[in-house]
């Protein structure tokens, strides 16, 4: 096991708090302290490390206020089916903002994410889905330590180049797996065999074959490492193998909606599944990618198909420290998974808004292309996006294979797109090795300068 220090949350000693004083003060002015409680939960669910500086009072000190917060959270929380190694269950607090956020996500998932029929035609949706899958595959792998740039990784996938190293293989495997979930796995119940299959696809040629098709054991001595600030720590020591083997079956039943629990909103349940896989850490490697893959798997099963447009890992990757702390807070602060679900709801909303901004840019790009080309020349959406790429990128080029992968169309359709652009002298082709590569013509470059 790693010799790194274990990360442990700094906590005030609440045993020293004068509980009688806190209760008396609360009873004297409940409205005031209800507002202070709200400040600790909204606009984000905060832990002591931030709370002690954010929430102040002239009667109760920070420790006394935190005691009040923890009592309120404990009383108001509901246990869920995720069990800790110690035998207690994780719990969550349904925050006031939760209903608003879930409603917004549901409305988007019902069609509001795609308000522009001229941009998101039926035939063009696969282009945006494929973009989402590529971006998710790259970012999810980078979160797990894949060391390569987004540009290099994207080019590898688009040009169907074989991975050259372990980092590229991680990304390529992730891309294949998310595609398999979207095309096939979403229609299957989860089982231990399917879990092994998904994990095997994610870790193909990146882990020893002896580490596939089996759950990890205690001899593997697995510890989750993370970086908090500038220091590396052990952020999580997974439960023992006996506990994992018993709980993985409960996780599978939960994922298949085969438990007797009350209804849980699919978004929340997908987030809980994500956390559960991360907590159990059932394999020697690839657990983070597996957790995020099952998040998508569950939502697609529940009809949230628009999530294929949303590469949520790209948003999480912008705040990896917050992601790690969401796990740590949930495990170390009274098994309160509210930290984790609150973090993820906000990241989903951020991913939605970033995609909507992306769509707005595509509309502007289409208008720019329409202004440049002759009205006599009718281009489809794929061709318009390609023309914009050719007039806006520094060293643009493409191939039939690249155009086919980006837009998720057949090679025949991709070749037809390119040949038509070549026939109106927007592109010219050049044989380079076994590929025919297309470049912008002087005519197109001159038209763009006008």
d(CA 366, CA 388): 8
Q: Is the pLDDT of residue 287 over 60?
A: yes
Helix (H, G, I), strand (E, B) or coil at 224: strand
d(CA 388, CA 265): 41
**Tens digit of pLDDT for each residue in 352-366?**
999 989 888 888 888
Task: Label residue 372 by pLDDT band (50, 70, 90).
Answer: confident
Instruction: Give the per-residue pLDDT at 110.
Output: 67
d(CA 389, CA 385): 6
d(CA 347, CA 24): 39
Tokens of 40: 């600790």
Domains present along the chain, CATH in parentheses: 14-76 (no CATH), 81-356 (1.10.3290.10), 373-449 (1.10.10.10)
What is the pLDDT averaged over residues 415-439? 93
Q: Is the pLDDT of residue 408 over 90?
A: no
> Residue 83 forms beta bridges with which residues?
89
d(CA 6, CA 236): 8
Distances (CA, A) of 380 to 69, 126, 219: 57, 14, 57
Q: Is the pLDDT of residue 449 over 90?
A: no
Which of the residue ranges 38-42, 104-108, 341-345, 408-412 has the most confident prediction, judged by mean pLDDT? 341-345
What is the rounded average pLDDT for all residues in the chain? 91
Percent helix / strand / coil, the chain, rounded to 5? 60, 10, 30
pTM: 0.91
Contact, 95 vs 338, CB < 8 A? Answer: yes
Contacts of 346 (CB under 8 A, 6+ apart): 44, 101
**Which single residue is written with the structure tokens 């995609």?**
355
Helix (H, G, I), strand (E, B) or coil at 106: helix
Percent of the chain at pLDDT exceeding 70:
96
Task: Label residue 368 by pLDDT band (50, 70, 90).
Answer: confident
Percent of the chain at pLDDT exceeding 90:
73
**Tens digit of pLDDT for each residue in 116-150?**
555 556 556 778 888 999 999 999 999 999 999 99
Look at 45-59, 240-254, 300-314, 369-383 and tell me which has the smallest mean pLDDT. Answer: 369-383
**Tens digit of pLDDT for each residue in 67-121?**
999 999 999 999 999 999 999 999 999 998 999 999 999 988 766 666 655 555 6
For residue 75, the number of C-alpha atoms closer than 13 Å in the C-beta half-sphere is 6
């Amino acid at each position: 096991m790693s010799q790194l220090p274990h990360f442990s949350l700094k906590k005030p000693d609440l045993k020293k708090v004068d509980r009688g004083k806190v209760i008396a003060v609360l009873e004297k002015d409940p409205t005031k302290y209800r507002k202070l409680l709200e400040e600790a939960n909204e606009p984000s669910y905060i832990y002591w490390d931030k709370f002690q500086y954010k929430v102040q009072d002239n009667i109760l000190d920070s420790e006394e206020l935190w005691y009040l917060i923890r009592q309120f959270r404990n009383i108001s929380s509901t246990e869920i089916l995720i069990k800790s190694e110690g035998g207690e269950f994780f719990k969550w607090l349904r925050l006031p903002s939760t209903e608003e956020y879930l409603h917004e996500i549901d409305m988007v998932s019902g069609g509001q994410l795609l308000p522009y029929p001229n941009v998101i035609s039926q035939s063009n949706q696969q282009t945006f889905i494929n973009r989402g899958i590529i971006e998710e595959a790259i970012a999810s792998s980078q979160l797990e330590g894949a060391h390569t740039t987004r540009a290099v990784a994207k080019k590898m996938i688009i040009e169907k180049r074989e991975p050259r190293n372990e980092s590229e293989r991680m990304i390529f495997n992730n891309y294949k797996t998310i595609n398999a979930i979207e095309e096939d796995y979403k229609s299957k119940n989860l089982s231990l065999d399917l879990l092994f299959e998904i994990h095997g696809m994610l870790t193909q040629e990146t882990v020893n074959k002896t580490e596939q098709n089996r759950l990890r054991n205690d001899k593997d001595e697995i510890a989750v490492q993370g970086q908090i600030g500038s220091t590396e720590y052990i952020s999580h020591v997974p439960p023992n193998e006996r506990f994992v083997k018993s709980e993985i079956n409960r996780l599978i039943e939960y994922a298949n909606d085969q438990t007797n629990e009350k209804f849980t909103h699919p978004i929340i349940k997908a987030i809980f599944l994500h956390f559960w896989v991360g907590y159990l850490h059932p394999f020697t490697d690839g657990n983070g990618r597996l957790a995020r893959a099952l998040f998508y798997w569950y939502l697609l099963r529940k009809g949230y198909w628009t999530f294929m447009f949303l590469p949520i890992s790209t948003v999480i990757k912008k705040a990896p420290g917050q992601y790690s702390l969401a796990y740590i807070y949930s495990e170390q602060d009274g098994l309160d998974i509210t930290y984790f679900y609150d973090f993820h709801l906000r990241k989903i909303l951020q991913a939605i808004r970033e995609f909507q901004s992306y769509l707005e840019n595509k509309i502007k790009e289409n208008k720019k292309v329409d202004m440049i080309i002759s009205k006599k020349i009718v281009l489809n959406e794929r061709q318009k996006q390609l023309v914009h790429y050719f007039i806006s990128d520094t060293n643009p080029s493409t191939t039939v294979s690249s155009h086919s992968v980006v837009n998720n169309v057949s090679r025949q359709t991709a070749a037809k797109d390119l040949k038509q652009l070549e026939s109106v002298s927007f592109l010219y082709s050049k044989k380079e090795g076994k590929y025919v590569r297309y470049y912008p013509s002087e005519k197109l470059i001159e038209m763009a300068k006008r």
